[in-house]
Structure 1
Amino acid sequence: MKIAIFTNDGRQSLKVTQKLQKKFEDTHFVMDEKNPDIVVTIGGDGTLLAAFHKYENILGTVRFVAVHTGHLGFYTDWRDDEIDDLVISLQSDNGQSVSYPLLDIRVKYEDDQRPVNLLALNEATLKRNSATMVTDVFVGGDLFEKFRGDGLCISTPTGSTAYNKSLGGAVIHPNLKVLQMTEISSINNRVFRTLSSPMIIAPNDWVTLVPASECDYILTVDQDSFHGRRIEQIRFKISNKSIQFAKYRHMQFWQRVQDAFIGAEYAN
């Protein structure tokens, strides 16, 4: 089995990385940063997101295992004091995995006829830097509304627990391969009107945003941001690709949600 370690630069993360590297060497794992079978991330959800984007071109052959070294992360199954157990689990690996859907994003700029294709694990947002955002919203090819407000958030099911949740969106189980569109401070009055509610979009449909012709839009895709170019349109759809997590003791989704937001001590 080929292993890659992806870590942040925190003191504890680097300490755990050094310890794990030594254990992998002692147990004769092959370290391969370019084409691994397993990527072990050490840090938190931000580290896992960064690793996902680094290896998004080989998602069909790579699985992820996440170790947290700070506050509990939503994607992280292992604590930093469980390295020995993790190595034992890797030694008895049988290839099992659990998959989560991803968001396919296709951006067409006014100055380039070739669309730019991006992937998100959590969400993408479109906002304006210094003024109200105005964009036509198409669902499945049909005009749905003209949105006015601070922006829009398009999330995956697992991403529904992130920025989307803070905006009042629903938490969606990843077995439902849908996307969700949630408004960011929409304008609703006698002149302007939006749905003012999160929308769950079926897997065969897509959402297309055609913003007014301005150059100060900011497109975010997970942790990355893109700006400075005039956007002709952006299309969002559930991707045919998915992310695979090695299923050693992978926590069930609703247990993960409870653990992250409620805590077992408050569940009874």
Structure 2
Amino acid sequence: MRVSIHANSNANSQVAKGKLLAGLKAPAFQIDEAHPDVVITIGGDGTLLSAFHRYADQLDHVRFIGVHTGHLGFYTDWRDFEVDALIEALNRDSGESISYPLLDVLTDFEDGTTAHYLALNEATLKRESGTMRSDVYIRENFFESFRGDGLCVATPTGSTAYSKSNGGAVIHPRLDAMQVTEIASINNRVFRTLAAPMILAPDEWISLRPEPFQDYVMTIDQFTARPSMINAIRFKIASERIHFARYRHMHFWDRVEDAFIGAKKPDAL
């Protein structure tokens, strides 16, 4: 098994990385940063997002494992004090995995060029100054004229991140859907939007055709771009998927409860 390890600069992460490297010296393992079979991230969800974008062109054969050095994250199944158990699971590996949908983003620029991105969590379009004005199309059919700060398009796993803070629903990652949430939309007697999150089916796509300004800011997960003049941006569920080496099951709603509620469990009846 070819393994790549990515850790953030946190002291606990570096200690866990050293322990993991020491445990993977068996002949069955080979450290390979260029073409790994398994990518192990140590830190948090941000560390895993960075590793995902590094290996986005190898998703057909790479599986990811997340080790968290803080509280439990949405993409991390292991804690830093469980490195020995993780090494045992790697030794028993039989190719088990679970996959989640990704977001495909295609941008057309005024000069005729295009740019293509994959997002694990979400993509957004905003303006740095002034109101963003954009026509919104669903499957090439005009839907609305948006006025506001911006729009966020998220995957199911990304529904617990920025999308949720904009009032979006939390979507189970087994659903191949994407969600569009408005960021501070303007609704009055002149301008009207749906003013509610939209969840689109996997065979649908959404296109934005913003008015021609040069101060747009586009984000793909944690990365920010200030593109040149945009003609249109199309969002759809990607044909690619991210695969996680899942050696033990943790229910998605348990992750949601732990992250956002953390309530004391009721006494057994």
CA distance in 2, matches of 1:266, 1:126: 40
CA distance in 1, matches of 2:132, 2:175: 30
Identify the residue that residue 45 of structure 2 maps to in structure 1. 45
The corresponding residue for 2:226 is: 227
| Corresponding position of 1:14 | 14
3-state secondary structure, aligned to 1:81 = helix
1:102 aligned onto 2:93: no
Partner of 1:59: 59
Q: Secondary structure at the match of 2:264?
A: helix
Q: Distance in 2 between matches of 1:167 and 1:198?
A: 9
Q: Distance in 2 between matches of 1:5 and 1:168?
A: 35
Alignment of 1:1-268 (within 5 A): 1-26=1-26, 28-111=28-111, 113-263=112-262, 265-266=264-265
Considering only aligned residues, what root-mean-square deviation do their CA atoms show, in Å? Answer: 1.3
CA distance in 1, matches of 2:198, 2:28: 49
- Aligned-partner Cα distance in 2 for 1:166–1:257: 14
Q: Which whole-Å CA distance do the structure 2 matches of 1:104 and 1:10 have between them? A: 32
The number of residues matched between the two structures is 267
Return the alpha-carbon distance in structure 2 between the equivalents of residues 228 and 222 of structure 1.
16
Distance 1:161 1:256, change over 3 A: same
Give, in angstroms, the shift of residue 266 of structure 1: 4.8
Q: Which runs of 4+ in 1 moved over 3 A?
A: none
TM-score, normalised via structure 2 length: 0.96
Q: Aligned to 2:134, what secondary structure does the other structure show?
A: strand
Kindly provide the CA deviation profile for residues 244-264 of structure 1, in whole angstroms up to 9, marking residues without a partner as x.
000101412222212222225
SS at match of 1:73: coil
TM-score (norm 1): 0.97
Moved more, 90-99 or 255-264: 255-264
Where 1:25 maps in the other structure, the secondary structure is coil
**Contact map agreement 2:218 2:227 (CA 8 A) in 1:** no
Q: Distance in 2 between matches of 1:8 and 1:117?
A: 27
Unaligned runs of 5+ in 2: none
